[in-house]
Structure formats: structure tokens, C-alpha cells
Amino acid sequence: MNALNSIRSLTPVGPRINSQRLWEHICAMADIGATAKGGVNRQALTTEDTRGRMLLLQWASCRGYQASIDPIGNLFIRRPGKSPDLSPVLTGSHLDSQPTGGKFDGVYGVLAGLEVLETLDDHGIETERPLELIVWMNEEGSRFPPPTMGSAVAAGALPLADALAIKDVDGIDVQDALKIQLAELPVLETRALDMSGFAYIEAHIEQGPVLESQACDVGVVTGIQGLHAYEIQLLGAEAHAGTTPLRHRKDALVAATTLIARIRAAMDDPEDILRFTVGRLEVYPGSPNTVPGRVTFNIDLRHPDPDFLLRADEKILQLCAGEVEGCPVSAKVLLRSTPVTFDDRVVATVRNAAGGRAMKFLDIVSGATHDAKYTAEHIPTGMIFVPCEKGISHNEAENAREVDVAAGAQVLCDAMLAIMSAQL
Ligand code: GLV
Ligand code: MN
Ligand code: MN
């Protein structure tokens, strides 16, 4: 871990970002995978994701930035520094979306990062350290669970081979989907898996209602709650829907609904802080007149307290042992990611950057997960949130105001420069 001194002044340190260009970039990216209801569907390693990456690479190449890619598909765009051997100051987020996602989740952090790099060019500012913009692969985990796959692999929390073998609902694995994407992208320099850097700061929409309700310009993120992800499978037996009496069936779907109801009851939290979601259920063979022979579903479980999360984990695994209504159950833990607290010095830098622009800001813990969770295990990390309309996210109606996304990008620019000039 490298040492950063706390930042000295509350005065703005950076040039003004170009808010109009940032907004135009967000709108251009929103056209890729645009849905009829105003959102986007640009899931990881689909054609739309590839097109999004190509557009970003075009913008980057106009500026002469170097691009490279690692074995799990994390994409790096580098603006050189005066001292190329110094470790870079990093920013980034993701371009992949939920199937019914919005225009800002992830995209905003990538384009705010690009805006920082371009602003420095516009003002002829050379930095001592290189700056790197990272597009993490498959942050959403909707096509290929779990979420934050690219950063988890880079951090060594998920073995590369395990991640490459994960399949989507059509049986295509990450390895093959990645090969297809690489064949379509311009030839990129390859680099080894690595999670190092001087500091990492990610900008993101809040995805909750707090900043908007308190009329804040930005949120200073102090950490992220923990997240566990599971895949549960029940095995029944396919049978004819018209001839097989109910008591002779092994109906995997009926068993799954019973099991989900049991787990939901066990997850009841009087304080309502625990988050329990079954967002995906696959029924095999998926025919109206065949009793389901196999059901697979995913659980997403979150809480800010690691012990609470582990107790919930134990209950889930107990309930998923043995059989339910004659159907054997098996449980696979896809991810156990503990809550993180961000680096005090980076958090203070973000706070000072917001203060330096006389913005109204608030310290906030993230309920959503982000790649910053994995960078934080290896690199001094912080995040900046901007308000989003009514806190709506993972929804095509997701929205944010131009003035707010500009404020967050300005804080990102100032904070990255402030970190850069911190004394070691
Ligand atoms: C990220 O999209 C999350 O699930 O929090
Ligand atoms: Mn996101
Ligand atoms: Mn998301």
C-alpha cells in the first residue's frame, strides 16, 4: 500500500471540465443498445457491449491514448505521464448494463474518466504520473453471474479459469464470448492481470434517493456493503403434464418456489437492512406441458455488517442442503465479497475537491456494488456519487441531470489531480 499525504488545500486544483462534451458522450453511448422505454440493454460481451467499447476506443484514439486489455477483458486507456515509471492514478467503471438498464449506471463513471483525460489535454496539462481509465468487464453480472467479475479476477478473488467457464443461459461461456468480442475490437495490446496503481477514484450515480432528497451536489462514498452471490439447483424428473398424478411427480419448480419462500422467511430482518433477491430463475426444459426436471436460481444477498452476512449465509446453505419435496438441492457460492471501507486519504481528497468547488456534499455508504470494492483491497480507493432521479436504477427510467453529472466529473478531475500531486 502506498502512502498518500492528505491534501493540503480546499481550493480547486483542476481546470474546468467540458460539461457539454461529457453530456454528448453520455447521449452517444446511450444510443448503443437503446431500448424502446428509454433505457439500454448492453449486457457484457454482447454485440452492443462491443460497439460501446469500440466507440470509446475511437474517442481515445483521437487523443492518442494507448489502449490495452487483460485476459478477463478489462480494458485500459492510458494517458502518459512525465514519469512513465510512476504508478498511475486510476479511474473507471463499466459499460455493460442490466437487460433493462439505464443510461448512466457505469457508463457515467467511464465517460467522466474520459472527460478528465480530455480536459487535461485541452488545457495542455502534463501530469507527473500516468492516468489510466479502466472499463471493467461484466460489472453487472446479469448475463454471466456474479457481478464485478472483471475486477474480482484482477484482484485475485475469483480464479480466471473459473470466470472464463461461467455460462450464460444459452450455454455460451465467458471465454467464447470474450473471443468473439476480441475478434471484433481493433487489435489491442495485451497485458497481464494486475491490480496495482497509486490511487483509484470511481464516479457513479448514487442509485438511491439520499443525495437528491438532501439536495446535495455530490456524495463522498466511504465504503460499500458486502455482497454474497449463490447459484442454487434443484433436480426433479421431467414427466407428462397430462398423465402424471401430482403425488408421483418430482416437480423441480414447485420445490424451488417452496425453497425460495423458506429462505425468504429466514432472511427476514426486523431492521430491514439485509437485502435478499432472487432475480433469475431458469426452468428446464421450459415446456408448458412437461413437469420441470431442473430449476436453477440465483440469490443476491447484501449487508454492511460482515457477521450478519455470514449468519445469513449459514442459514441459506443449511436450507439448501438435502432435498426439498423429493428434489435434491445443491448450492454453489459464486461470490463472498465482504464490506469495504475506503481509504481515509482518498475519501478526504474527494471531500476537499467537493469543498473546493463550494459544493454541498454528504458522506455515504454504497448499497450497490462497484468494482471499487475490489480495487480497495489493493489500491487506495474512493468514489464520488452524483444524485439520480428518485433514486431509480437498474430500470430503463434511470435518469440524472446534466448539472449533476458535470459536478461529479469536476470533483473527479480535481481529486485525481490532487492525489497526483500528493507528497509521497
Ligand atoms: C451492481 O450493479 C450491483 O448489483 O450493485
Ligand atoms: Mn454500476
Ligand atoms: Mn448496475
Query: What's the 3-state SS for 101-153?
Result: ECCCCCHHHHHHHHHHHHHHHHCCCCCCCCEEEEECCCCCCCCCCCCCHHHHH
- Return the pLDDT at 421: 79
Say if residues 153 and 69 touch (Cβ distance below 8 Å): no
Of ligand 1's listed atoms, the one at least distance from the Cα of 300 is 4
Can you count the helices (H) and strands (E) in the chain?
12, 17
For the residues 392-412, what does the mean pLDDT come to? 98
- Residue bearing the CA closest to ligand 1, atom 2: 140
Q: Which ligand is nearest to the CA of 109?
A: 2
Report which secondary-structure segment, H or E, holds 159. Answer: none
Check pocket membership of 102 for ligand 1, CB cut-off 6 A.
no
pLDDT higher than threshold 60 for residue 36: yes
Which of 98, 140, 335 for a ligand 1 pocket mutation test, highest count of atoms within 8 Å of Cβ? 140
Kindly tell me the burial class for residue 82, based on how many C-beta atoms sit within 10 Å of its own C-beta (0-12, 13-18, 19 or more).
exposed
Q: How far is the CA of 91 from the centre of ligand 3 (A)?
A: 17
Say if residues 415 and 350 touch (Cβ distance below 8 Å): yes
**Cα 248 → chain centroid:** 45
Check pocket membership of 229 for ligand 1, CB cut-off 6 A.
no
How far is residue 391's CA from residue 209's CA, in Å, rounded to a whole number? 4
Task: Tell me the pLDDT tens digit for each residue of 356-370.
Answer: 999 999 999 999 999
Q: How far is the CA of 242 from the centre of ligand 1 (A)?
A: 42
DSSP string, 301-328: EEES-HHHHHHHHHHHHHHTSSEETTEE
- Assign 336 a pLDDT band (cuts: 50, 70, 90): very high
Q: How far is the CA of 250 from the centre of ligand 1 (A)?
A: 35
Of ligand 1's listed atoms, the one at least distance from the Cα of 207 is 5
In sequence order, the 6+-apart residues with CB closer than 8 A to the CB of 243 are: none
DSSP string, 372-389: HHHHTTTS-EEEEEE--G
Task: Tell me the pLDDT tens digit for each residue of 63-122.
Answer: 999 999 999 999 999 999 999 999 999 999 999 999 999 999 999 999 999 999 999 999
Percent of the chain with pLDDT over 70: 97
Of ligand 1's listed atoms, the one at least distance from the Cα of 140 is 2
| CA-based radius of gyration for the chain | 22
Of 11-15, 55-59, 388-392, 394-398, the one with minimum mean pLDDT is: 11-15
Which of 144, 394, 395, 398 for a ligand 1 pocket mutation test, highest count of atoms within 8 Å of Cβ? 394
- Return the pLDDT at 13: 78
How far is residue 280's CA from residue 232's CA, in Å, rounded to a whole number? 11
Q: Which ligand is nearest to the CA of 94?
A: 2
Check pocket membership of 408 for ligand 1, CB cut-off 6 A.
no
- Return the pLDDT at 3: 38
How far is residue 226's CA from residue 148's CA, in Å, rounded to a whole number? 12
pLDDT higher than threshold 80 for residue 422: no
C-alpha cell at 286: 421450459
Task: Tell me the pLDDT tens digit for each residue of 129-141.
Answer: 999 999 999 999 9
In sequence order, the 6+-apart residues with CB closer than 8 A to the CB of 108 are: 26, 93, 203, 204, 205, 386, 400, 405, 408
Beta-carbon neighbours within 5 Å of ion ligand 3: 105
Q: How far is the CA of 394 from the centre of ligand 3 (A)?
A: 6
For the residues 293-301, what does the mean pLDDT come to? 98
Check pocket membership of 368 for ligand 1, CB cut-off 6 A.
yes
Check pocket membership of 369 for ligand 1, CB cut-off 6 A.
yes
- Return the pLDDT at 403: 98
Q: Which ligand is nearest to the CA of 108?
A: 2
Considering only CA atoms, which of 299, 282, 288, 295 is closest in space to residue 253? 295
Check pocket membership of 109 for ligand 1, CB cut-off 6 A.
no
- Assign 10 a pLDDT band (cuts: 50, 70, 90): low
Three-state DSSP state, 76 = strand
DSSP string, 160-212: HHHHHT-B-TTS-BHHHHHHHHHHHSPP-EE-------SEEEEEEE--SSHHH
Q: How far is the CA of 139 from the centre of ligand 2 (A)?
A: 7
Task: Tell me the pLDDT tens digit for each residue of 247-271.
Answer: 999 999 999 999 999 999 999 999 9
Which three-class secondary structure string do you get for 230-261? EEEEEECCCEECCCCCHHHCCCHHHHHHHHHH
- Assign 12 a pLDDT band (cuts: 50, 70, 90): low
Q: How far is the CA of 61 from the centre of ligand 2 (A)?
A: 25
Q: List the strands of the sheet with 323-324, edge to edge.
A: 275-284, 294-303, 226-235, 327-337, 323-324
Considering only CA atoms, which of 158, 154, 162 is closest in space to residue 135? 154
- The reported pTM is 0.94
More confidently predicted of 189 and 11: 189
C-alpha cell at 375: 480495487
For the residues 387-408, what does the mean pLDDT come to? 98
How far is residue 52's CA from residue 43's CA, in Å, rounded to a whole number? 11
Task: Tell me the pLDDT tens digit for each residue of 119-162.
Answer: 999 999 999 999 999 999 999 999 999 999 999 999 999 999 99
Check pocket membership of 217 for ligand 1, CB cut-off 6 A.
no
Task: Tell me the pLDDT tens digit for each residue of 206-229.
Answer: 999 999 999 999 999 999 999 999
pLDDT higher than threshold 60 for residue 5: no
Average pLDDT, rounded, for the chain: 96
- Residue bearing the CA closest to ligand 1, atom 1: 369
Q: How far is the CA of 3 from the centre of ligand 1 (A)?
A: 30
Say if residues 158 and 147 touch (Cβ distance below 8 Å): no
Q: How far is the CA of 61 from the centre of ligand 1 (A)?
A: 30
pLDDT higher than threshold 90 for residue 423: no
C-alpha cell at 348: 478526504
- Return the pLDDT at 138: 98
pLDDT higher than threshold 70 for residue 333: yes
- Domains of the chain as residue ranges with CATH: 2-224+340-420 (3.40.630.10), 227-337 (3.30.70.360)
Q: Which ligand is nearest to the CA of 42?
A: 3
Check pocket membership of 335 for ligand 1, CB cut-off 6 A.
no
The Cα angle at residue 89 between residues 87 and 90, in degrees rounded to 5? 115
pLDDT higher than threshold 50 for residue 419: yes
Percent of the chain with pLDDT over 90: 96
Task: Tell me the pLDDT tens digit for each residue of 316-330.
Answer: 999 999 999 999 999
